[in-house]
Amino acid sequence: MDQLRIAKFTSNDLPFGKMMTDLEGWHRTVTDWNRLLRIEPLGMIKAQLDGRDVGIAGFLSYKDVSWIHSVIVLPEFRGKGIGRAMVEKCIANARENGCPCIKLDSVRGFEGFYRSLGFAEEFESHRYLADGAPFPKVAEEVRPSDMGSIMAFDRAAVGVDRGRVLRAIFEDKTDLAFCTREAAVITGYILGREGEERVQIGPCVAKGGDYSIGHQLITTLIGSVGPERRFRMCVPGANRTAVRLVRDLGFASGIASTRMYLGERFQESAAVLSMISPEKG
């Protein structure tokens, strides 16, 4: 085989990264790309064949669980072991950091690729789509001073520290953040951001996975945006309450992917009604 090199992906590589995610129709905006590098500056890698950029892959670590994402090889260079080499590098990076579990959302049809790297299937990861609706605002707006409590709530509910990611999403879109409280204590929160074509909803986390809290959060976010916009939300299929809730709210099922894991299985919390995104868990 020609000379394959796995190299660091820097901010200079963003146009290449964006071209690759556009090629796959993954709706990743320039803001999303910048945020990804800001959150995990050493998380992206690229593959070069004889000096030419031919592939990308990334990982995001929360210590007890890491996520592999953005694994793409240019179509004309597929089937040469490049995807495998990049994922093996991401696995090695996660293991060097002592991470016991690595997860990912596999695009349908590529489960075999990840199985050959040792991953096992866990459950279906749904993309749900909805049109806007004039729902009333029943949850509170999140203020910057609430973020400390929200990050602590998320850590307790989810079991890992996702604080830096939540803060980055909130800072990019402060007016799409809502929470619920009981006796002044946070019982749930939701964040949204501008995606390509649709507003991306997530994360949405509710104490005990409570249906009614989730309902308040999702309807408030949709109602605050305006009926002319459309929405996308990534829902773990293993969470039956979350699936029932979005269906009750009129969301339609979009393309599903498959959640897979490697290592000790990290049990995802029932409190998570919507994941942040396929690349951030």
Ligand X SMILES: CC(C)(COP(=O)(O)OP(=O)(O)OC[C@H]1O[C@@H](n2cnc3c(N)ncnc32)[C@H](O)[C@@H]1OP(=O)(O)O)[C@@H](O)C(=O)NCCC(=O)NCCS
Subset of residues 54 to 73 that bind ligand X, contact rule: CB under 6 A: 71-73
> Number of residues in contact with ligand X, rule: CB under 6 A?
18
CB of 80 to ligand X, least distance (A): 5
The position carrying tokens 């796959």 is 24
Contact indicator for 74, 25 with CB cutoff of 8 Å:
no
Q: How far is the CB of 204 from ligand X (least distance, A)?
A: 23
Shortest CA distance to 218 belongs to which of 261, 188, 196? 188
- Single out the residue of 51, 79, 98, 134 in contact with ligand X (rule: CB under 6 A): 79
Q: Do residues 14 and 57 make contact, with C-beta atoms less than 8 angstroms apart?
A: no
Q: How near is the Cβ of 117 to ligand X at its closest, in Å? A: 7
Question: For ligand X, which is the closer residue by CB, 113 or 211?
Answer: 113
x-or-dash string of contact with ligand X, 12-31, rule CB under 6 A? ------------x-------
Report the C-alpha gap between 112 and 80 in whole angstroms.
Answer: 16
Provide the token pair at 233. Answer: 């939300």
Residue 47 burial class via C-beta count within 10 angstroms: exposed 0-12, middle 13-18, buried 19 and up = buried
User: SS3 for 24?
Assistant: coil
For 5, phi then psi, to 5°, come to -130, 135
Q: What is the dihedral of CA 245, 166, 223, 251, to 10 degrees?
A: -30
Q: How far is the CB of 181 from ligand X (least distance, A)?
A: 37
Among 27, 113, 141, 237, contact with ligand X (rule: CB under 6 A): 113
- 21, 66, 106, 125: residue in contact with ligand X (rule CB under 6 A): 106
For residue 5, the minimal CB distance to ligand X (Å) is 14
> Which of 30-38, 102-110, 247-255, 267-275 is the region at the interface with ligand X (rule: CB under 6 A)?
102-110
Q: Is 107 in the site for ligand X (CB under 6 A)?
A: yes
Scan residues 114-173 and list those touching ligand X (CB under 6 A).
116
CB nearer to ligand X: pick between 18 and 80: 80
Evaluate the omega torsion of the peptide bond into residue 203 and state whether it is cis, within 30 degrees of 0.
Answer: yes
* Residue nearer to ligand X on the CB measure, 72 or 177: 72
Query: Is the Cβ of residue 106 or residue 220 nearer to ligand X in the bound state?
Result: 106
139, 169, 172, 264, 275 from 22: Cα distances, Å:
35, 21, 21, 33, 22
* C-beta neighbour count of 236 within 10 angstroms: 22
Q: How far is the CB of 24 from ligand X (least distance, A)?
A: 5
Measured N-to-C along each axis, helices 163-172 and 147-158 cross at an angle, to the nearest 10 degrees, of 140
- Point out which residues bind ligand X (CB under 6 A): 24, 71-73, 78-84, 106-107, 109-110, 112-113, 116
